[in-house]
Structure 1
């Protein structure tokens, strides 16, 4: 590959530190392949100046969360006419907004947990009748999370009605709009997808936290979660989960790569939770693990994603 690559990582979201780890792993992989590569952080004051002066041919976006996974940085590269990895502006924005993406899933008959949306402006008085309605409509336990955050930041699973207000307040620390959804008891799985038009569905991973839920700590603390590849689930359920992931990816108009997170109910019904358009890309992250199980080593995966950006 002769193109000059900029690995764009860091940024100013709550997931900055994870992004820096992702960027470092990608940079190292490209460097080992003798590719002309630099590392850029949008947080730097002179980011735009460096971007113009270095005359890069393609950007490998390794940003997580706001301003990187939500269509913002994609829009900048569109204006600068610089090819970039992953999904475009629209798909990135849709997937990042859990409320909008879940509405789209419902419209396209992609099974997703029943949910309610709450805006911060409507929550100032902490209406206890609203809490009662949430329990009536969705039951207990409930899942409460911000609409626009990743890495399970601000997420709570609530077992008791009296704890709902605290969970809502916690979610509102991260966003002005939050999602409250029914809790589906079952197995957490994730499906990696690669490609633009012709898609490669990677082996499904079953996620088993050793304690509690698969939250920020369980995701990023070594040894706290067991990953089973391929997931030990019924073959029919496995195929249905692949189909759901494929459809979610297509309906959101994703490109390059994504990771579709699902939960299987106790009777084996898959529910799509969300789509991550810029999943973690350290060598131990889920997408690289799934790729490795498919015979694609980390460096090969990184180059493949770059090639998708240049198609």
Structure 2
């Protein structure tokens, strides 16, 4: 019997366009003999709109941008969005959402309340993985090696900007990186080599979040692995990102192709072993499920630092996570099937929990 698969995409987030590209790619790869495909679009304004069932791939993003019905009003949100018909729920939801209001535990919480199976990480892992400060604090407790970091909320920075800059220079020095704490896809990130750049970077990052994280710059290679599974996760081969620009920013990642992806990465067995072990440790520290992409720094001395994990990594066939698994022997369509199976497995396990005494 075919599974009724709900695709949730778009989102009220700076990563809306990334999500739309992901949705197109997944729809193209889905086997319509295995799945009934039900699209649910979230506009940039936060409107949730159910589209008609899809019977095949779409050619443009515009085909996935549905309009809300006037009688429902804007922001209408109803359990009927998640019904396959008048009397049946969708079998599983695939949240193809990146960034806040999608990858941060908010949508996952809604799906938990509706008791619907969904692909990927739960509320805790999603929210902790979205907030880079909380994530790094958890990694510190877990004993994972990281570069030095500090953070600020907007009101503290505004009350004494010079003190904030002084603290960064004293504790981290230059170069350093300033990032919004709750955003992915390299949005709002700046590399700083002097005070003037640091001031501009704070102002830039605070446009996207009320909290920023500042990380010590380190001379190292950027190596990533994919992690797949629930309680017994597996790790893909490693891949290396070699940006042709100064660092791997949004433009290099999505717009101008100024990045080389080397898969498998040219690293030693012991270096891979350390990365593999730390990826699993990070996955379990955040209580992840389904998938993450784990990002590391690897110095020329062979020291491994975890940078972050992404709980819903870019998911087009040309994104790092699917490419890593392709080189590990799992093709894109098979990867989607595996993630759906993992979602159903985790949901079935949760049904064994007692909620009464």
TM-score (normalizing by structure 1): 0.96
Count of residue correspondences: 311
Give 3-state SS (helix, strand or coil) of 2:184's partner: coil
The residue that corresponds to 1:238 in the other structure is: 272
Q: Which residue of the other structure, out of 77, 81, 95, is the alignment partner of 2:115?
A: 81
- 1:23 equivalent in alignment to 2:14: no
Q: Pairwise CA RMSD of aligned residues?
A: 1.5
Which structure has the larger Rg over C-alpha atoms? Answer: 2
Is the partner of 2:168 in helix, strand or coil? helix
Aligned to 2:58: none
Contact 1:41/1:47 (CA < 8 Å) preserved in 2? no
Tell me, yes or no, if structure 1 residue 51 matches structure 2 residue 90: no
Report the counterpart of residue 248 of structure 1 in structure 2. Answer: 282
* Residue pair 1:31, 1:37 contacting (<8 A) in 2 also: no
| CA separation of 1:74 and 1:129: change in aligned 2, threshold 3 A | closer
1:299 is the counterpart of 2:329: no
Partner of 1:63: 97
Q: Give, in whole Å, the separation in 2 of the partners of 1:52 and 1:162.
A: 50
Q: TM-score, normalised by structure 2?
A: 0.84
Structure 2 regions of 5+ residues with no counterpart? 49-74, 346-357
Residues 175-186 of structure 1 mapped to structure 2, 5 A cutoff: 175-186=209-220
Query: Contact 1:58 / 1:82 at 8 angstroms: preserved in 2?
Result: yes
Instruction: Compute the displacement of 1:47 (Å).
Output: 4.8
- The one of 269, 278, 303 equivalent to 2:312 is 278
Query: 2:231 corresponds to which residue?
Result: 197
1:48 offset after TM fit, Å?
A: 2.6
* Larger relative contact order (Cα-Cα within 8 Å, sequence gap ≥ 6): 1
Task: Tell me the SS of whatever aligns to 1:169.
Answer: helix
Alpha carbons of 1:266 and 1:160: their partners in 2 closer, same or farther (altered >3 Å)?
farther
Distance 2:228 2:249 in 1: 25
Aligned 1:1-311 pairs, distance under 5 A: 2-42=2-42, 43-44=47-48, 45-48=75-78, 50-54=80-84, 55-221=89-255, 223-311=257-345
